[in-house]
Amino acid sequence: LILETAKKEIQGIIESLSHKSTTDSTQTDILQTQLLYIEDPSLLEKVHQLIVAENHCAAVAWKTSIEAMINTYQELEDPYLQARAIDIKDVGGRVLQLLTGESSRSFNLSQPGILVTSDLTPSLALQLKPNLVLGICTSAGSVTAHSTLIANTLGIPMVVGVGTQLLSLATDSQIALDGATGEVWIEPSQVQLQELLVKQSQTFDKSQAPQEAITKDGRKIPLMANIVGVADAEFALECGAEGVGLLRSEFLYLDRQTPPTEAEEYETYRAIAQIMGIRPLTIRTLDIGGDKTVPYIKLESEANPFLGWRGIRQSLDTPEILQTQLRAILRASHGHNIKIMFPMVASVQEVRAAKKILTEVENSLSGINKIKVGIMVEVPAAVTMANQLAQEVDFFSIGTNDLSQYVMAADRTNSKVANLANGLEPAVLRMIQQTVIAAHEAGIWVSVCGQLGSNPLAVPILLGLGVDELSVAPPAISIVKTVISQLDMSEVEAIAHSVLELDGAKSVQEYVVAKLGIEIYER
């Protein structure tokens, strides 16, 4: 009943916004996404377990489950997915207020000024009046957060993640901000104010992006989304995704004491598949380890967990968990275009062992069609063995985040060397080229699902190297489409060939900018 009340509240706001001529569709789209969080099968199952099995009251069960879900998203690597935590906090708080009878938070501004706050939920962002809120500055937050998108639709410049020092400023302090560059000035000089007054903020409007990712010479590039959960699937389609190139299944396993049941996994995969319809949905099997741990899989302390027991290595050692996941995926695949992808593959033997388990699970089920199987290419061993691995699978998906750190021997979480783990390093690009050549010789296709695929400077190189498909965070889809529409395949092939001979990432960036022009670089 409480959940229905919360849903009606959100639906009421959507209805109210739809009658306003100034409302941007982004605002209602974000609220529609919040409705999906309330209906998330994995969340509701956790709440139910806490109430039934542990005798928690509804409020405590809901608060505990929401906090676990928030932690799951915050621990993810993708900045877009991390930013979804504030959406979950927002909708979770709405339900909790109904359960406890607490009053909702609001801003009461009497005169125009810049709003300085720790963070901003979408619900609070929708309350803002542009004539009173001239700018927003948050100590936390993300540029990909929905509250940031709402601020953009309202025409309010916003700077996020500046730290806590601004929270102690006096109310009458004078500050200035530049939403385009993320800069903030405390007590700015008259010269700085004049410069800001004449500067035009450069923003990209997704409505101006082409409907499809097609190069100038007519080559269509499938553009997929990287997602976590049901709500992300809906948002991905709103952003123009043609399917899901990477569903990170870890969200079902984290922040809980026992692994998810087959029924719980099945309901979640099926819900996402129903949103996708016949569009591709690639589900990566469990990739726990490295920076993610769970209590029901005993992970010993490792000197370097990123080189340790994770991905397919762990799945093969815990076959009961893998079998349950594969059963759920196969059942959900009926009538849908679902593919399976194994992570952290380093050898042909690992793939064959995983496929053997998959075949056993397939044989135990009736009415299940054969499902396409791929692997993540994210370790150098997989690249060097790509010609043999390509004989075992239907596709490759290059995980450039991990591949970059393994090729460059640079931990992405170590600030002293993280800059070395750059996907534009020629060493990494040569690995991508080698993978693509091996795949195409075997007649299979190649996707890139790492952050490199959303870098406007990397897109022409990836296409020039022969990458068939890109999978990116949903907010990046429109800009990647626009970049692709400006490219010519013969031109990018020449560029890709040339950058492989350069001496470093900086030289690669400069070369692409010089060849394709500053427009792509700025966007």
pLDDT at 110: 74
Residues forming a β-bridge with 469:
447
Distances (CA, A) of 354 to 314, 329, 487: 11, 14, 39
What is the rounded CA–CA span in Å between residue 300 and residue 267? Answer: 32
DSSP string for 128-152: --TTTEEEEEESS--TTSHHHHHHH
**DSSP character string of 193-246:** HHHHHHPPP----GGGS-SS-B-TTS-B--EEEEE-HHHHHHHHHHTT-SSEEE
Residue 106 has what pLDDT? 66
Per-residue burial over 61-96, b = 16 or more CB atoms within 10 Å of its CB, e = otherwise: bbbbbbeebbebbebbbbebbbbbbbbbbbbbbbbb
Interatomic CA distance for residues 396 and 389, integer angstroms: 9
Q: How many CB atoms lie within 10 A of CB 520?
A: 19
Q: Which helix (H) or strand (E) holds 95?
A: helix 79-100
For residue range 36-55, what is the model confidence (pLDDT) as tens digits? 888 888 888 889 889 998 88
Is residue 449 part of the annotated active site? The answer reads: yes
The answer to whether 239 is a known catalytic residue is no
Q: Which of 48, 56, 336, 449 is the catalytic position? A: 449
For residue 217, the model assigns a pLDDT of 96
- For residue 282, list its beta bridge partners: 339
Integer Cα distance of 425 and 431 in angstroms: 10
For residues 210 and 219, what is the distance between their CA atoms, to the nearest angstrom?
A: 14
For residues 523 and 509, what is the distance between their CA atoms, to the nearest angstrom? 14
| Residues 428, 398: Cα–Cα separation, whole Å | 11
At 206 the pLDDT is 54
Taking alpha carbons only, the member of 127, 191, 200, 119 closest to residue 159 is 119
Q: pLDDT tens for residues 52-111?
A: 988 889 899 999 999 998 888 888 777 777 777 888 888 888 888 888 887 666 666 778
Q: CA 446, CA 436: separation in Å to the nearest integer?
A: 6
The catalytic residue among 19, 56, 57, 146 is 146
Instruction: Please check whether residue 520 is in contact with residue 486, taking contact to mean a CB–CB distance below 8 angstroms.
Output: yes
CA–CA separation, 249 vs 286, rounded Å? 6
Report which of 195, 183, 69 is spatially closest to residue 137, judged by C-alpha positions.
183
- What tens digit of pLDDT does each residue of 162-197 get? 888 888 888 888 888 887 677 888 888 776 776 666
> What domains are there in the chain, each with its CATH number?
2-100 (1.10.274.10), 113-186 (3.50.30.10), 209-522 (3.20.20.60)
114 dihedral zone (left: phi>0; alpha: psi -120 to 50; beta): beta
- Model pTM greater than 0.85? no
The amino acid at residue 53 is A
**3-state SS string for 164-200:** CHHHHCCCCCCEEEECCCCEEEECCCHHHHHHHHHCC
3-state secondary structure of 447: strand
β-strand pairing of 183-186 with 175-178: antiparallel
- For 102, the 3-state DSSP assignment is coil
Kindly give the parts of the chain with pLDDT less than 50: 21, 200-204, 518-523
Q: How far apart are CA 68 and CA 76, in angstroms?
A: 13
